[in-house]
Amino acid sequence: MTDKKYGIGLDTGGTYTDAVLIDLADNSVLLTAKNPTTHFELSRGISLCLRDILVGSKVKPQDVELVAVSTTLATNAVVEDKGDKVGLILAGFARHCSLPVVSTLYIDGGHNIQGEEDTPLDIEALVQAVTDLKGNVDAYVVCASMSIKNPAHEMVMAKAVSLIDPQPVFMSHEVSTRPGVKERAATAVLNARLRPVMEDFLMGMQDALVALGLAHNVMIVRGDATPMPIADTPRQAASTVASGPAATAWYGLSFAPQDDAVIVDVGGTSTDVTMVRHRKPSLTSDGSLIGGWQTHVDSVQMSTVGAGGDSHAALDERGELSVGPDRVLPLAMATRIIAPSEWLGRGLRSRLIAISPDLTEQEAGHDPVLVYLYQHGPATPAMLTSHFQLAEISLVSHLRDLVKSQFAFETGFTPTDALHVLGELALGDKEMARQGAQVLGAACGMSPEGFAQEVLTRLGDKIEAAILDHILMAEAGKTLAGFYPDYRHHPVLDIRFLVKLPLVGIGAAAPFILPRIAQRLGTEVVFPEHYEVGNALGAILMASGSKG
């Protein structure tokens, strides 16, 4: 019987799930694993990583003392504007409140700063509000003024909502005890929106861990770089929005070449930027700005941009190129799809929709679009619009719901494909990627190589701007986008920035993307050992209370 104790770090991202096994006695890395994230069944990709670790190391599950998890699924859901449809009911707060909800309804109620009832709760208006929202939302948020002093009105509101419409209800006083109605409401709304994402994640994680006998001590990394029991995740989903960046920061402070550094995690869906100052992660002092909304979620100071290796590179109907924020499966990685030369083009022909591989005909039968895909194979939104005679906006919204529910997936041209075209990457089918570049390049007067290079340039521009914005916000309280949004293309001024701190790259795509950016910023980029699974390693080092 061995006296050794081991720890496993897991990171579930939008594209890959990573795992790392360490000896807890000295934090030495014994084995790493990487497998595609299986969104249609999260437990599959997680199980494959864990099995690779256990089989490859011959470590017994009972000798694994701690499992630590980080994830960017919540971050990606915010970036890609995914999640539940939420109805917000505000009591005693009449000012306009713009948040990512289906509707915000205002009623009388609330308490004063002493916790005394300011205005009686308008039950009739509350009942009408829920009646109006019923059938149009997946969850509710109730928020009353000064509920941090007296939550009585929120508790009555939550009970009334559940009696009329038995959907999940989130009360703002449960997620924050700080003053600030708008920020508290925003935090509760994000928890509500992200609930299904994190419930799917929790279910997949638990299924995998229980099956392998690893479920006894599992922690998830919160955005403030502290661990939380994974069972608490669904009701506190917003606290995991910066889970990936927090693990990124911990990895960075463990392996950065200097006391101060910029840590850049290039994933498939998004790129996260954090900073390490004096060998410590930089933390927010008054809550995080998430998706453009100020919240009461404490986290590492981070910036997230919807730009990564699998960002969708698409031409609109006018031939204008955009890269991200949507993620699609790269053409080079797609299997059993139509050759891009037969369908790829501008606008609604920029992506191909395919049914998820494990979906049966019976499971597809509830939706006419899924039935069509099952019977006829993959199709572009243009083909589906023509067949169903649907308005573009209705179809796009419906397809988004199908992808969110993991009934279907999308494929299109990405920076990963661009790297295949340029011969810098050889993980998939180069011919599929080249066909895509040839079609899209011809549509805007470029060679396949020229188009591929332009896609990488656009991706680099977005990541460079995110790095500069993050540093400027941390150092000066302003962003470059707010100060000079079009600085790269000014006809008179040539504005350039040099960064004195080194970049630390994390993620499998980082070596292909960051050297160009570091050169433009006049700095160096380093890729410490195990950079390709940096978040998984950061998670277990943080949870075990070590910095390496």
- The two tokens of residue 531 are 């950079």
Give the CATH number, domain containing residue 15.
3.30.420.40
Residue 459 lies in a domain: no
- The two tokens of residue 123 are 């039950």
Q: Which residues pair with 480 in a beta bridge?
A: none
Residue 35 lies in a domain: yes
Residue 250 lies in a domain: yes
Q: Are residues 538 and 432 in the same domain?
A: no
Pairing relationship of beta strands 503-506 and 261-266 according to DSSP bridges: parallel
Can you give the C-alpha Rg of the chain in angstroms? 24
Residue 472 lies in a domain: no
Residue 491 lies in a domain: no
Q: Are residues 398 and 536 in the same domain?
A: no
* Confidence grade of residue 480 (pLDDT, cut at 50, 70, 90): low
Closest CA to 388 of 370, 403, 402: 370
d(CA 503, CA 294): 27
The pair phi, psi for residue 423, each rounded to 5°, is 75, 15
Give the CATH number, domain containing residue 182.
3.40.50
Q: Are residues 153 and 173 in the same domain?
A: yes
Residue that finishes a domain, picked among 164, 193, 222: 193
Closest CA to 85 of 68, 66, 70, 104: 104
Q: At residue 1, does pLDDT exceed 50?
A: no
Tell me how far CA of residue 170 lies from CA of 112, 138, 285, 306, 318, in angstroms. Answer: 21, 12, 24, 28, 43
Q: How many domains does the chain have?
A: 3
Q: Are residues 365 and 239 in the same domain?
A: no
Residue 151 lies in a domain: yes
Cα 292 to its chain centre, rounded Å, is: 14
291 in Cβ contact with 193 (< 8 Å):
no
Give mean pLDDT, residues 124-139: 93
pLDDT in tens, 336-352: 789 999 999 999 999 99
Q: Are residues 250 and 392 in the same domain?
A: no
Tell me how far CA of residue 348 lies from CA of 315, 345, 386, in angstroms. Answer: 9, 8, 11
Pairing relationship of beta strands 218-221 and 64-71 according to DSSP bridges: parallel
pLDDT in tens, 154-200: 999 999 999 999 999 999 998 878 888 888 888 888 888 888 877 77
Q: Which residue has the tokens 């009555």?
A: 156
Residue that finishes a domain, picked among 452, 470, 503: 452
- Highest mean pLDDT among 145-154, 252-261, 398-407 belongs to 145-154
- The two tokens of residue 25 are 């006695």
The pair phi, psi for residue 533, each rounded to 5°, is -125, 35
Q: At residue 494, does pLDDT exceed 80?
A: no
How buried is 112 (Cβ within 10 angstroms: 0-12 exposed, 13-18 middle, 19+ buried)? middle
Q: Are residues 165 and 111 in the same domain?
A: yes
516: number of Cβ within 10 Å: 16
Q: Are residues 317 and 436 in the same domain?
A: yes
Look at 506 and 42; give whichever has higher pLDDT: 506
Q: Are residues 93 and 173 in the same domain?
A: yes
- The two tokens of residue 284 are 């927010």
- The two tokens of residue 494 are 């040539």
The pair phi, psi for residue 242, each rounded to 5°, is -105, 25
d(CA 9, CA 11): 7
d(CA 243, CA 72): 6
Q: For residue 155, what are the domain limits?
A: 86-193
* Confidence grade of residue 206 (pLDDT, cut at 50, 70, 90): confident
- The two tokens of residue 297 are 């979620």
Q: Are residues 437 and 325 in the same domain?
A: yes
Residue 506 lies in a domain: no
Mean pLDDT of all residues belonging to the chain: 87
- Highest mean pLDDT among 106-115, 190-199, 358-367 belongs to 106-115
Residue 269: CA count within 13 A, CB half-sphere: 23
Give mean pLDDT, residues 285-299: 65
What was the pLDDT predicted at 290?
A: 59
Please spell the DSSP secondary structure of 392-453, one letter per residue.
Answer: HHHHHHHHHHHHHTTSEEEEE--HHHHHHHTTS--SS-HHHHHHHHHHHHHHTT--HHHHHH
Closest CA to 91 of 111, 102, 112, 106: 106
Residue 267 lies in a domain: no
What was the pLDDT predicted at 74?
A: 74
Q: Are residues 436 and 323 in the same domain?
A: yes
| Stretch among 419-428, 487-496, 536-545 having the lowest mean pLDDT | 487-496
d(CA 437, CA 421): 8
Residue that finishes a domain, picked among 177, 193, 209: 193
User: Using CA of residue 233, residue 239, residue 242, residue 247, what is the dihedral sign?
Assistant: negative
Q: Are residues 28 and 141 in the same domain?
A: no
Q: Are residues 154 and 42 in the same domain?
A: no
Measure the CA dihedral 178/100/137/220, to 10°: -60
